[in-house]
Structure 1
Amino acid sequence: MQYQWVLFDADETLFRFDSQGGLKSLLARYGHEMTEQCYSDFQRKNLALWEQYHQGEIDMLALQKQRFAHFGERFGVKPVALNAQFQEAMVENSPPMDGAHELLLSLKGRARLGIISNGFKALQPGRLARAGWSEFFELVVTSEEAGVAKPDPAIFHFTFDKMDQKPEKALMVGDNPHADVAGGAGVGLDTCWFNRHGNPRPDGISPTYEVGSLLELKALLA
């Protein structure tokens, strides 16, 4: 095995992120039925806020407050409390990606495994436990914990500090060509773009590997 560490993105790399199912569960808690328009309005605002967060224009607390501000007013509940309840719902709405379990089993004992996610810290333990993966990962780093988001080099250096030192040979695997591939390459990591939708490669993005499935990556690393 040529890599000491294999580092994974979480959402849409290891886990499917069914935000529609999560929001539906949250709203049902308050007796509110979710419509397609309701979800569309939420997701439009949510994605815009995540983009602002990735660009460093807002912090994680602002994201939590603003994306649930409307529902907070409607239900008389603080937006940060709604965000926490949404994270709880997402544990039930984040099934493993196809081939993820087989890939992780194939890497166990051959490389040390970690996660670098731009998501929330509270979400990770529950869904790792639900997938039966808690013992696979030595390290889980989130942008909430690091204070910066991928592709900022600081979140990778934060991760290296937790490793005690930057590994001589490590692979970053993720579905986002900018956050995961450009971000990882920017700090000297080999990278793998998990491009399951067959999207064209963005200008300036040069992953070490590109795969359409996690089983393809399993074979590549065998």
Structure 2
Amino acid sequence: MRYRHIFFDLDHTLWDFETNAKDTLHDLYHIHDLSKRGIEDFNGFFDRYSYHNERLWDRYTKGFIKQDELRWKRMWLTLLDYKLADEELSRNMAIQFLDKLPTKKAIFPYTFEILEYLKNKGYNLHLVTNGFEKVQHNKLQSSGLHAYFEAVITSEASNSLKPHKEIFDYAFQQTGAKESESVMIGDNLDADIQGGINAGMDTVFVNHLNIKAHIQPTYTVYHLKELENIL
């Protein structure tokens, strides 16, 4: 085998963050009766949340803001779009969101099948994620993915974030892997693919959304089953 160690991203690559986040926010929408507070269209509300979440995550991965600010301000800014300047509600929703989100179980098609395939071929499977330690481990337990991975490397544990080389150095230290025998698989060009390149690894871009790549990966797949053509 060309590779011995496979490092996966979790959110948006295997675990369907968009579907699970929407389901979680829908729960909170009803718990807090937001339709009676001027937010009549849930889909519009989720679109605004996604807009702010994406931009705050970008700032977080670049080191401009801390975890706590990311967690509650994505709620705060979303509510502000509806003229609800309620910090207490924002903070409560932020806590509830992270309590409920990891219990959701939606994963991308062929996730279990590809992990089983790779495991049976003798690869060592690991995760490298910018997600929060407790949240990511809970997601793995709830979805049934935990059994497939030997090591779960989070930004919290490594004190670094993809695409920085330090999180991958920490991953190599924890797993005993070498960059020459490893491959990074993920959906995010700036975090996963650039991060793998920074670490000296080959990379696989999981292009679920069929977007144009502005960073050149070693391989590109559009469905997880296509990994069988590479590995």
The TM-score normalised by the length of structure 1 is 0.86
**Equivalent of residue 55 in structure 1, options 59, 62, 71:** 62
1: CA distance between counterparts of 2:75 and 2:58? 16
Residue correspondence of structure 1 range 1-222 to structure 2 within 5 A: 1-17=1-17, 18=19, 19-33=21-35, 35-69=42-76, 74=86, 76=88, 79=91, 82-109=93-120, 110-164=122-176, 166=178, 168-202=180-214, 205-221=215-231
CA distance 1:45–1:198, change in 2 (3 Å): closer
**Contact between 2:73 and 2:90, CA under 8 Å: does it hold in 1?**
no
1: CA distance between counterparts of 2:175 and 2:54? 31
Task: Provide the alpha-carbon RMSD of the alignment.
Answer: 2.3
SS of 1:193's partner is strand
CA distance 1:168–1:41, change in 2 (3 Å): closer
Cα distance, 1:150 vs. partner?
1.0
Counterpart code for 1:89: K
CA distance 1:164–1:216, change in 2 (3 Å): closer
Between Structure 1 and Structure 2, how many residues are aligned? 218
2: CA distance between counterparts of 1:78 and 1:24? 15
**Contact between 1:60 and 1:144, CA under 8 Å: does it hold in 2?**
no
- CA offsets, 1:145-188, max 9 Å, x none? 33332111121112122224545400100011121111101111
Gaps of 5+ in 2: none
Counterpart code for 1:95: A
Percent identity over paired residues? 29
Counterpart code for 1:13: T
1: CA distance between counterparts of 2:63 and 2:87? 30
**Structure 1 stretch displaced more, 113-122 or 21-30:** 21-30
The TM-score normalised by the length of structure 2 is 0.83
Gaps of 5+ in 1: none
**Contact between 2:125 and 2:150, CA under 8 Å: does it hold in 1?**
yes
Cα distance, 1:210 vs. partner?
0.9
2: CA distance between counterparts of 1:29 and 1:162? 41
Cα distance, 1:98 vs. partner?
0.8
1: CA distance between counterparts of 2:46 and 2:57? 16
Q: Which has the higher helix share?
A: 2
Cα distance, 1:41 vs. partner?
2.8
**Contact between 1:115 and 1:139, CA under 8 Å: does it hold in 2?**
yes
